[in-house]
Amino acid sequence: MPLDLIQTELGRDRRELTERVEDLNARFRHHSAHDVMHGAIDEIDELALVSSFGAESVVLLHMAAVVNKATPVLFVDTQMLFTETLEYQQEVSERLGLTNIRIIRAEDAEVEREDPYGALRLRDTDACCNLRKTFPLQKALVGFDGWITGRKRFQAGTRATLEFFEVEDGTGRIKVNPLAHWAPEDVRAYMEENNLPRHPLVAKGYPSIGCAPCTSPVKEGEDPRAGRWRDQNKEECGIHFVDGKMMRVGEKT
């Protein structure tokens, strides 16, 4: 097909996707997180939930399980996670009856080539996140029309205008953020009301949990994400990519 025709097709696809997302946001604007989850699972054919099984992940996992226990759940195991996270993943999956957990890892050959000693993070955290999280997830998302994230507006300045539905640039997928408007109290209340199990590290001072080498406890009064890549100019793992590339969506101030 000639290049100008391909560009026309891509432009039309992008317009259609944007219109669909605008329509979804308009219809669900005043709805609850649960309605957004329900609507997304009903209306987006191939939809995955991407979960880190971190401090607040159980909320979204529970909501998805209420709608459909067979919702595909993509869990990226960077092979740098806390043992507690791996155990918690199994506990939560069993307790909620989730039947379609897919554990995503970088290919052994790539890890062997790029980071044979597990030290890449010491000289380049972005490269390490790309190798262990972003690229494996990109591959795992091929064939999906959309994915559900646990991002919330309050978490970072870079997320302050987050909508329920977004176009993911360059992939033709829709990102769904059912908890976009939730505050920390909403998360706590939902966990209590539904008697959901907590990640064991939360009680040890970790309100936000990623890979073990890049996550430290947070002191009283600190931003909950202050323990992620502490003292580094980095606040996103790069899982939210654009055009197949890691996207630096913000920097610490």
Q: Which stretch binds ligand SF4 (CB under 6 A): 14-22, 35-43, 60-68, 207-215?
A: 207-215
Site for ligand SF4 (CB under 6 A): how many residues?
13
Residues catalogued as catalytic = 237
d(CA 178, CA 33): 5
The nearest distance, CB 43 to ligand SF4, in angstroms, is 33
The nearest distance, CB 174 to ligand SF4, in angstroms, is 25
Q: Does 240 bind ligand SF4 (CB under 6 A)?
A: no
d(CA 9, CA 30): 33
Q: Does 213 bind ligand SF4 (CB under 6 A)?
A: yes
Q: Does 156 bind ligand SF4 (CB under 6 A)?
A: no
Buried b (16+ CB within 10 A) or exposed e, 193-211: eeebeebbbbeeebbbbbb
The nearest distance, CB 149 to ligand SF4, in angstroms, is 17
CA end-to-end distance (rounded Å), the chain:
47
For the segment 76-135, give every residue that binds ligand SF4 (CB under 6 A): 78, 80, 121, 125, 128-129, 132-133
d(CA 158, CA 75): 23
> 124: part of which helix (H) or strand (E)?
none
Name the closest residue to ligand SF4 (Cβ). 211
The nearest distance, CB 129 to ligand SF4, in angstroms, is 4
Q: What is the dihedral of CA 138, 139, 141, 143, to 10 degrees?
A: 130
Nearer to ligand SF4, 84 or 145 (CB): 84
Contact 178, 67 (CB under 8 A): no
Footprint on this chain of ligand SF4 (rule: CB under 6 A): 78, 80, 121, 125, 128-129, 132-133, 210-211, 213-214, 237
